[in-house]
Amino acid sequence: MGGRESTLVLLDKNGIRCDGRKVTEPRRIMIKAGVLKNADGSAYIEFGDNKIIAGVFGPRDVHPKHMSNTDTGIIRCRYHMSPFSVTERKNPAPSRREIEISKVIKEALQPSLMLEKFPRTVVDVFIEVLQADGGSRCAAIDAASVALADAGIPMRDMVCACAAGKVADTIILDVNNEEDQAGQADMPVAYMPNLNKVTLLQLDGVLTHNEYKKCIETAIDGCKLVYQIQRKALTDKFFENGGNQ
């Protein structure tokens, strides 16, 4: 990882992490569907200290026209961090990091969408990180998938995302900012829980093959927890009785 020197105790002898969590305990997650008036679908997520809003438009006409595909619809994605979302002001122009994250988020969401039903159209996913903590790309995917469902776009599955990582030689669920900076590895994972497919996988940091396996399994356990929260956000919006009809 970054190799930053730190006096922070990432994991104490009772197995408690720097923010008081247990090894396999995620941060607090809250998702609300349908938070924007103009977007076709939207969602707001708080994931630890991440505060992220996602808006979806489409399927709609493609501009510029040359991007359109006569065989299928396409998805575009913009992940953007507000200048005030981090400690030091961030230049509002998209950075190389944001462009890469936009691309991997697009590829994480695309397998869940039945875009072939909408040739010559585009689904635009706009993600604004209002406040960033560790794991913002995972939180962004969680919100975007709910926003896509909120927009009524035909989907094969939800996409849920959560990171796992390694601190103090221990595999942990849901890496926070401090653990990302001072820890040994960070592995964001996006997963379609019903189709059992991993649609985003990245790794920064060194893992043995056994740790790699455990990390994927841990992250997928986290994804399944997120999935329940995503479902609840959607049923809360669409069913007054919480979906028990």
Partner 1 sequence: MASVLDELKRKEIVDLLAQGKRIDGRAFDQPRPLSIETGVIPKANGSARVRLGDTEIVTGVKIQPDKPFPDLGDKGIFICTAEVLPLAHPDVEPGPPGEDVIELARVVDRGIRESGMIDMSQLVLEKDKSVIGIFADNSVVDHDGNLFDACSYATTAAILSCKVPKWEIKNEAPVLVEGHESAPPITTIPVSVTMGRIGEHILVDPNAEEWDCIDARITITTNSDGNICAIQKGGNDGFTVEQLLKCADISASAATKIREKLKQTKG
Among 83, 213, 228, 238, contact with partner 1 (rule: CB under 8 A):
213
Taking the complex as a whole, how short is the minimal distance between the CB of residue 212 and partner 1, in angstroms? 5
Q: Considering CB under 8 A, how many residues would be counted as binding partner 1? A: 41
- For residue 234, CA distances in Å to 144, 161, 214, 219, 245 come to 12, 17, 31, 23, 14
Interface region with partner 1, contact rule CB under 8 A, candidates 35-43, 139-147, 209-217, 224-232: 209-217
Give the pair of three-digit tokens for residue 162: 């959560």
Interface region with partner 1, contact rule CB under 8 A, candidates 11-19, 37-45, 94-102, 221-229: 94-102
Task: Name the residue type at position 145.
Answer: S
Taking the complex as a whole, how short is the minimal distance between the CB of residue 175 and partner 1, in angstroms? 14
Q: CB of 135 within 8 A of CB of 52?
A: no
Cβ nearer to partner 1, comparing 11 with 203: 203
Closest by CA position to 221, among listed 199, 191, 200, 197: 191
Stretch (H or E) spanning 58: strand 50-61
Q: How far apart are CA 61 and CA 164, in angstroms?
A: 38
Cβ nearer to partner 1, comparing 46 with 211: 211
Binding of residue 71 to partner 1 (CB under 8 A): yes
Task: Name the residue type at position 104.
Answer: V
Place of tokens 């997650």: 29
Binding of residue 5 to partner 1 (CB under 8 A): yes
Interface region with partner 1, contact rule CB under 8 A, candidates 2-10, 130-138, 171-179, 222-230: 2-10
Binding of residue 81 to partner 1 (CB under 8 A): no
Q: How far apart are CA 45 and CA 33, in angstroms?
A: 9
Binding of residue 13 to partner 1 (CB under 8 A): no
Binding of residue 61 to partner 1 (CB under 8 A): no
Give the pair of three-digit tokens for residue 28: 């607090």
Binding of residue 37 to partner 1 (CB under 8 A): no
Closest by CA position to 215, among listed 40, 24, 75: 24
Positions touching partner 1 (CB under 8 A) are: 1-5, 69-71, 96-97, 99-100, 102-104, 107, 110-111, 187, 191-192, 195-209, 212-213, 216-217, 220
